[in-house]
Amino acid sequence: AKSTLRQCCATVDEALAAQKAMESEKAESSSGGAAVESGWKEVFNCQAIIGLHPDQATGGVVELARALGRPFAVVPCCTFADDFPERKLADGRPVRTYDDLVEWLQLYGAPTARKDFLQFVGKNQVIYQPIQPPVSGQSRQECP
């Protein structure tokens, strides 16, 4: 039996290409983008991007949220400094420690990204982009 749990093995660029393909299919036919893998629809229709101990995908959580214009929350654990030498802090130092990663996520996330602690033991620091209030005249879409 096929598991309902999915591991995302795509880059943010691949996700955005799938979104573009889905929009093209929707415009060209009444299928609503049926040829694009159905899992992408859930990603593009989500209200927020969340990563709990996402390992090497930590930066990708924030990158995807920014690309889709969604709020995010990420609880990082491992730094993987050697895998991401391009990550730099505002002063140019490379991201090497957990505290560096938290600082980088705040800088990279958005000017309004915040950090807080969740109520459990362990790596419990969360960096998040708060949900923005609706623009005047618009209502916030409720989750199904």
Which phi-psi region, left, alpha or beta, contains residue 98 (left: φ > 0; alpha: ψ -120 to 50)?
A: alpha
Q: What is the pLDDT of residue 39?
A: 72
Residues 6+ positions from 39 with CB-CB distance below 8 Å:
6
Q: How far apart are CA 57 and CA 70, in angstroms?
A: 17
Token pair 């859930």 is at which residue? 42
Position with higher pLDDT, 106 vs 2: 106
Q: What is the pLDDT of residue 100?
A: 96
Question: Quick check: 70 and 15 in contact, CB under 8 A?
Answer: no
- For residue 5, pLDDT beyond 60: no
Q: What is the pLDDT of residue 67?
A: 87
The identity of residue 86, as a single letter, is E
The per-residue pLDDT for range 66-101, each reduced to its tens digit, is 888 899 999 999 999 999 999 999 999 999 999 999
Q: How far apart are CA 32 and CA 25, in angstroms?
A: 7
**Residue 36 pLDDT grade (very low, low, confident, very high; cuts 50, 70, 90):** low
- For residue 57, pLDDT beyond 50: yes
Q: How far apart are CA 59 and CA 47, in angstroms?
A: 18
Instruction: Indicate the range of 54-63, 74-83, 127-136 predicted with least confidence.
Output: 127-136
